[in-house]
Amino acid sequence: MPASIGLMVLAWLVHGLLLERMSREFVESRLKDEVAFLVHQIRTSNGRVDTLQTGDYFQDVFHHAFAIRSPSGTIISPEAWAPLLTPLIESGNDGTLRVHDTEIADAPSDILAYRKSFQVGETPITVIVSEDLGALKRSQAELHAWTAIVSVLLILLLVAVIWFGITLSMRPVVTLKAALKRLQDGKISRIDVQSPEEFQPLVEQLNQLLDSLDQRLERSRDALANLSHSVKTPIAAVRQILDDKSHPLNNDLRHQMAARLNDIDKQLEAEMRRSRFAGPQVGKSAYPLKQARDLLWMLGRLYPEKSFELSSALPEESRWPVEEHDLNEILGNLLDNAGKWSNSYVELSLSQDNGLTRMVVTDDGPGVNENEMTSLGQRGLRLDEQTPGHGLGLAIAREIVERYGGQVTFSTASGGGLQVTVEIPN
């Protein structure tokens, strides 16, 4: 808006300058034409100026003042202009002449004149035609003022149109703001407003965020309820032992208390592990290449006899919409499991296409039978009891991936080992 007003003012100033220039050029052109007409009339009369129809004739027809000088005399019409035109006749300079800031009664203060000297035979004649610029300037100022008025009206109209357009286009935002206020006040649980197509993705994302927060809150409440119920019995048993003053704390009682406290510790650890992968945290992301290199370096020290390789075409600054801790849990459990079972190498492949982030872990170990492939990832399940572990690694990775709406698939690698593929939508 300030730029528009500035342009309007600049255009108005330029209009004034151009109007003055065009008016001067137009008046000068008319004066030349009228001088040419007078010269023609005088030549036609063979220089006999007294035979011309003078008096107020030229003033009434052309609305201009004129002066004609010949050896027989000088004719000036109207006579009130004589003090202005007489010096111009005697100046001897032909062409356009300007006289301004004069103070003569019944005569204009600013005139533009055109003077031409010529001869008819041996008779020298001088002709001057002039116009009052004061009247022209008043008309010009009036036109310029009307231009300013129209410009101001156009600016006001532009302001009104812009205000109306912004108000109309922002109405969906006002509706969405009111819906968010009702949501904050607890009057609604989801945003359900009629909004333009451009706002639909925003409304859907907000509703998805609310769904995610509700799910996490529900899981937290369930976890607290489970934890409260689980630790209540062991705590009651320990308290009973401590309250029974008739029996000293012998070894059996100490073992019982230790067992109960161990149950509480296990339950707390399990619930804390669940809270770590309770779902994605909004606005968090991770650098997959950096974390993958760090994990491969650490596992290379843990299994020095095996080779851990990384294969990826991702740019170094790539970011995935996964929390760093969750990505470490997924990759760490999958790579650790592959390191235990591989013979000589483990390969990690990272890619991103078609709206999916993909992680593929391949080893050259003995692999898994087809009939046992569907059992992989179940909590606590171990297909080989001889290998150290608790059967939780693949289950933890699967649970975290499912929290992000992804999936984990198991297949046989080309070399006979196990291949685990993780796909998470962006």
Q: How far is the C-alpha of 219 from the C-alpha of 271, rounded, in Å? A: 11
Q: Mean pLDDT lowest for which of 1-10, 98-107, 278-287, 298-307?
A: 278-287
Query: For the chain, how far is it from start to end, CA to CA, in angstroms?
Result: 41
Give CA separation, 423 vs 34, 100, 322, 351, 401, in Å: 93, 90, 12, 10, 8
The pLDDT of residue 268 is 67
Q: How far is the C-alpha of 362 from the C-alpha of 63, rounded, in Å? A: 104
The pLDDT of residue 312 is 93
- Rounded percentage of the chain residues whose pLDDT exceeds 70: 79
The pLDDT of residue 234 is 64
Q: How far is the C-alpha of 192 from the C-alpha of 188, rounded, in Å? A: 9
pLDDT at 386 over 50: no
Q: Do 410 and 419 form a contact (C-beta atoms < 8 A)?
A: yes
Backbone angles phi, psi at 213, to 5 degrees: -65, -40
Q: What is the pLDDT of residues 57-89, one digit of tens each?
A: 555 555 678 888 888 788 887 777 888 888 888
Q: What is the pLDDT of residues 249-282, one digit of tens each?
A: 677 767 766 766 776 776 666 666 555 545 444 4
Q: What is the pLDDT of residues 183-218, one digit of tens each?
A: 777 777 788 777 777 777 888 888 888 888 877 777
Q: What is the pLDDT of residues 126-166, one digit of tens each?
A: 888 888 877 777 777 888 788 888 888 888 898 899 889 88
More confident residue, 195 or 363: 363
Q: How far is the C-alpha of 280 from the C-alpha of 14, rounded, in Å? A: 63
- Rounded percentage of the chain residues whose pLDDT exceeds 90: 11
**For 246-280, b where at least 16 C-beta lie within 10 A, e where not — what string?**
eeeeeeeeeeebeebeebbeebeeebeebeebbbb
> Token pair of 343, please?
């013979």
Q: Model pTM greater than 0.85?
A: no
How wide is the angle at C-alpha 62 spanned by C-alphas 59 and 66, nearest 5°?
50
